[in-house]
Every structure is written in C-alpha cells, then in structure tokens.
C-alpha cells in the first residue's frame, strides 16, 4: 500500500511538472486545458477501477496476476484511446454538429448515472452474457476473460471520457497527453483504490455531475463560452466536495462501530 501511494504521488507530480512545461512553452491556456483534461480523465479512471475490482473478484484472479493483467490493460488502453481521440477530433472538425451529439450524450450519461440507485454498489457482479458464453464454451484460463472484460470496459468508458475532454479542447496533443498521464498511474492507483473503496461512496455522484457539466459546456459552446479556468475550478470543486463528503460519512460510520 505504501509503495502504491508513493507511485501514485509520483505519477501525479509528473503530470503537474508536465503541465508546468506546457505552461512555460505553450502558455497558461494550454496548461489549464491539460490540467482540466487530466483531472477529468483521472476522476473517470478511478470510477473505472471499481469495475476492474468487480471483474477480478468475479473471475477470482489472484493479486499477483492482477498486476500483470493491469499492465496489459494499460497498453491496450493507450492504443484504444489514441484511436478514439483521433476519431473524435476528426468528427468535431468535420461535422460541427457533433458537438451537440457528444454534449447530449455526456449530459444524458451523467444524469442517468446520478439517478441510478444501484450505481453505488461495489459488490461482485456477473459480466456480460457474451463473456459468460465464452467462459463456458472456450477452455482458456480465466485471466484471458478478465483481460478481455477490462479491454471491453475501457472501450465503453472511452465513449464518456473522450467526449468529456473534447469539451475542454480539441488540441490532439493536449487530449492525448492528458489521457496518457491519467492512464500511466492506473496500476498503482488500482492498489490504492481497492484498499480505500469504502471511503468514496459518493464518487459516482461526482463523476455524474462532471459529465453533466462538460455536456452542458459542449451544448452551449456556440452561444456562451465557459473558460478553461472556470471549467477547471468547477471540476476540481466537484471532486473535492465528493471526497470530503465521502470521508465525513466514512468517519461518522466508523465512530459508531
């Protein structure tokens, strides 16, 4: 746990140093765009890690094997995100109305997540029927199905995360690097999240509010431009409030025991 915390801090500090370099070479605006994108992707990746925990729990993958699968998953995620980013930027540049499509999708996804009563449950769930069928009829190790489930889930998550950061900027360099820095620390962050999952009971609400906010930002982009600095402030405030409320509830329940 101590090692995972140190590595998590190292990757976060690396992202901050990189943001400083962007600010020095490209200006404050680009640095703010990078930080906004990084914070969004990092927050969404934490929520995604809870799904990874469910996958490993269901397939009964031992801790040692989990680290190896996460490493493969990160490599696959980098490739998939690169393709999704290229596709998303192309669509926005080619079809201006795609901003409204992405914005509506994000706002709807966030609202749906916020209203879902069962979204807070982190108990083991069964994977999709497709994976159950493969597991039953193809004699391969469970780790293969776990890795497949991780990659499939990352593709699904990309439909939220990529449009979310495109609401901040369509600069391919900023979008890609913020994604990479958010993904690189996933393995150590997974170890931390798996130990502290009970302390963040309201994380889904925070993620939902962020998705709604960036969705509305996209929808009103042609009528009113919300600055990157304001967007970063709103996103950080939502995350901070979510963690503080979660910790307060956790400590309150702990004091009753």
**pLDDT by residue for the chain (257 residues), tens digit each?**
778 788 888 989 999 999 999 999 999 999 999 998 898 888 777 767 767 777 777 777 887 788 788 878 778 777 887 888 888 888 877 877 777 887 787 788 778 877 774 444 444 445 555 555 555 656 566 677 777 777 777 777 777 777 888 888 888 899 889 988 888 877 777 777 666 665 666 777 877 888 788 888 878 877 777 777 787 788 888 878 887 887 777 666 666 65
DSSP 8-state assignment for residue 220? T
CA 139 → CA 133, 142, 148, 152, distances in Å?
A: 11, 9, 15, 20
Domain boundaries, given as residue ranges, for the chain? 2-256
Name the nearest CA neighbour of 222 among 97, 90, 87, 36: 97
Mean pLDDT of the chain, nearest integer: 77
Residue 168, classed as helix, strand or coil, is: coil
Show Cβ contacts of residue 244 under 8 Å, excluding neighbours closer than 6 positions. Answer: none
pLDDT tens by residue, 99-137? 788 778 778 877 887 777 444 444 444 555 555 555 565
**Spatial distance between the Cα atoms of 31 and 19, rounded to a whole number of angstroms:** 5
pTM of the model: 0.71
């Amino acid at each position: 746990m101590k090692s995972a915390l140190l590595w998590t801090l190292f990757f976060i500090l690396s992202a901050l140093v990189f943001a400083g370099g962007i600010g020095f070479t490209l200006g404050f605006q680009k640095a703010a765009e990078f930080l906004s994108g990084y914070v969004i992707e990092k927050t969404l990746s934490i929520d995604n890690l809870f799904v990874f925990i469910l996958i490993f729990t269901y397939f009964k993958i031992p801790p040692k094997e989990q680290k190896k699968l996460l490493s493969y998953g990160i490599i696959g995620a980098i490739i998939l995100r690169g393709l999704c980013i290229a596709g998303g930027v192309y669509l926005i540049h080619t079809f201006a109305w795609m901003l409204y499509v992405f914005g509506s999708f994000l706002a709807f996804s966030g609202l749906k997540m916020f209203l879902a009563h069962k979204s807070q449950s982190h108990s083991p769930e069964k994977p999709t029927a497709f994976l159950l069928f493969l597991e039953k009829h193809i004699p391969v190790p469970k780790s293969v199905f776990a890795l497949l489930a991780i990659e499939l889930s990352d593709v699904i998550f990309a439909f939220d995360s990529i449009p979310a950061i495109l609401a901040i900027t369509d600069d391919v360099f900023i979008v890609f690097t913020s994604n990479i820095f958010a993904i690189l620390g996933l393995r150590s962050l997974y170890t931390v999240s798996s130990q502290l999952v009970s302390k963040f009971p309201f994380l889904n609400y925070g993620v939902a509010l962020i998705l709604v906010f960036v969705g509305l930002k996209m929808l009103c982009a042609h009528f009113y431009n919300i600055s990157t600095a304001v967007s970063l402030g709103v996103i950080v405030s939502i995350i901070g409030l979510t963690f503080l409320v979660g910790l307060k509830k956790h400590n309150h329940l702990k004091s009753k025991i």
